Amino acid sequence: MPAARALAVFALSAVVAVAVDGPLGRLSRRFPPLTELPATPFCAQDAALVELGFRAAAADLAWVQMLEYMGNGLPQLPDAPGHPYAHIAVLASRIVSLDPSFHRAYLYGASVLGWFPQVARPEQAVALLQEGLRRDPGQRLYLLYIAALAYKKEGDVPKMIALLDSTLKDPGTPTLMKEILANLYKSQGRYAKALEIWRDILDDPAAASDHPRARLQIEEIRALEAAGRGS
Amino acid sequence: MDTIKAVFDYTLREHVRSRAWLSAALFGLVLLGAGAIASVLAVNERGRMVLDLGLAAILAIGLVSMVFLTVRLVLQEIESRAVFLILTHPVRRWHYLLGRFFGTLAAVAIGMAGMGLVHWLLLEAFGWAPAGSYALAWVSILGQVALMGALALLLSLALTSEAAAMAFSVFFWVLGHFTPELRYIAERSGSGPLRGLILAFARAAPDFSRLDYAGARHAGTPAAWAAWAVLYVLAYGTACLALSAELFEQKEF
């Protein structure tokens, strides 16, 4: 290829590439810059994976680490005695900074922050859900959870329960929220509803890790029902 | 065109017969299996994790294979003097270069297609088929691999050292994912000339972050994005290949 023609092809292609860059940038999904990643011991891991082009896998890994934290804790993020799950907000925020469309991370984080009695940080739960509304629009569960938290704040537990119950059939609802609702029903003596939820969890193959807890709860609730009938 | 096709066929056969290619494809399948096993940890998000880890494995294997093969593609033939034998035939240098490049790309694409098929069957078998288009995610990975290959070829001819070409290829790959941060830094830069310089640098590097459909898939990226992405890969890739052809023409053997 003559030099002049090669250079002309190069120049023309470069101009087209620069011209295309604008519309492509407008249509591409914009992710938060790495500077918005919350400070955690995993920053280097997250930045390395993102810069190597594995953003979605980085978010998945962050999700697994959050579940590990909730299950057994993470040695990198120890909780002070009497303050369990103190890092849950930052871990949830880390996932959604890596992938703002990770619906379940907002809902899971908000469930723990808003409804775990030993955590009880509903303001942070609302902030996380509001971040979801801003970065990941179109998910109705965020609004419903915010409304449920508002009812909780006002002390209107029946309305809160009714609202959460309406989200149960939504495929995006985390198993954790189903368990929270089952425990709420149990604490109110509505054993039939609680049993129904635990049985649903037991039938869900995706919630296999929660099956032993579901079996225990079913046994416990049946015993409570029997005791109630006996007295 | 006939000479390009002849070189293409010979390059494709050469790669498909090589053990390195087969090993890479097999390693990719092992990674897919490992991803499926690791996904147990993701509980409710198992399907998502199998999908993401599988696409990441396809990208990693495709990218490493393409850069490794492309960097050695011409340099090795120059070292072994096999290129003299080919160029004594009525083969234009740029025909030879394009045939070699597209032959390599086809070999890598076949390996990636095999991995993609196994991955998709795995997702289908477990009922985790993605909501978005899997084919589009795969094509976006192939586009990134092709673009990186064109850039690696240019670097190998410009730097004439395999190690330097590979190191710079990795640098450009990382830089291509760092462009959102570069734009962020430019936006917050107080100095006009500095901002212009950073933006020019960000534009000169291939913007892989905008081609990452796999990363953007969960958010439902608009379909029009695909057309612009294809045009971007074609334009940027052609620019790299045109410069490579010119450098190859200038080489004295």
**Do residues B210 and B137 make contact, with C-beta atoms less than 8 angstroms apart?**
no
Select from B3, B32, B44, B184 the residue whose CB has the most chain A CBs within 10 Å, as the one to mutate to test that interface. B44
Read off the pLDDT of residues A8-26 as tens digits, 9 standing for 90 and up. Answer: 999 999 999 989 988 888 8
Q: What is the pTM of this model?
A: 0.86
Nearest to A28 by CA among B236, B195, B225: B225
Write the Ramachandran bin of A194: left for phi over 0, alpha for psi from -120 to 50, otherwise beta.
alpha
Taking the CA of residue A4 and the nearest CA in chain B, the distance in Å comes to: 9
Taking the CA of residue A104 and the nearest CA in chain B, the distance in Å comes to: 8
Rounded Cα distance between B245 and B253, Å, is 15
Inform me whether the C-beta atom of residue A76 falls under 8 Å from chain B C-beta atoms: no
Say how many C-beta atoms besides its own lie within 10 A of residue A71's C-beta: 11
Say how many C-beta atoms besides its own lie within 10 A of residue A165's C-beta: 15
Torsion of CA B141, B142, B147, B149, to 10 degrees: 110
* Exposed/middle/buried for residue B16 (C-beta within 10 Å: 0-12, 13-18, 19+): middle
Asked if B203 and A100 come within 8 Å (Cβ–Cβ), the reply is: no
Q: What amino acid is encoded at B238 in this protein?
A: T
Which backbone phi and psi does A155 adopt, to 5 degrees? 85, 10
Rounded Cα distance between A60 and A104, Å, is 11
Asked if A1 and B92 come within 8 Å (Cβ–Cβ), the reply is: yes
Select from A27, A106, A176 the residue whose CB has the most chain B CBs within 10 Å, as the one to mutate to test that interface. A27
Rounded Cα distance between A181 and A162, Å, is 10
ipTM of predicted assembly, 2 dp: 0.84
**Do residues B102 and B146 make contact, with C-beta atoms less than 8 angstroms apart?**
no
Asked if A206 and B44 come within 8 Å (Cβ–Cβ), the reply is: yes
Residue B131 has pLDDT above 70, yes or no: no
Tell me which residue in B218, B222, B245 faces A99 most closely, judged by beta carbons. B218
Say how many C-beta atoms besides its own lie within 10 A of residue B34's C-beta: 12
Read off the pLDDT of residues B90-130 as tens digits, 9 standing for 90 and up. Answer: 888 888 899 999 999 999 999 899 889 888 888 888 777 76
**Do residues A102 and A56 make contact, with C-beta atoms less than 8 angstroms apart?**
no
Rounded Cα distance between A45 and A59, Å, is 11
Rounded Cα distance between B5 and B91, Å, is 11
Read off the pLDDT of residues B44-97 as tens digits, 9 standing for 90 and up. Answer: 788 888 888 889 999 999 999 999 999 988 888 888 787 777 777 788 888 889
Query: Number of C-alpha atoms within 13 angstroms, CB side, residue A81?
Result: 0
Which backbone phi and psi does A74 adopt, to 5 degrees? -115, 130
β strands within chain B, DSSP E: none
Mean pLDDT to the nearest integer, B174-197: 85
- Percent of chain A residues topping a pLDDT of 90: 44
Task: For chain B, give the longest Cα–Cα distance.
Answer: 62
Taking the CA of residue B221 and the nearest CA in chain A, the distance in Å comes to: 6
Inform me whether the C-beta atom of residue A122 falls under 8 Å from chain B C-beta atoms: no
Q: What amino acid is encoded at A106 in this protein?
A: Y
Contact residues on chain B for A13, CB-CB shorter than 8 A: 235-236, 238-239, 242
**Structure tokens, A217:** 């709860």
Contact residues on chain A for B231, CB-CB shorter than 8 A: 16, 20
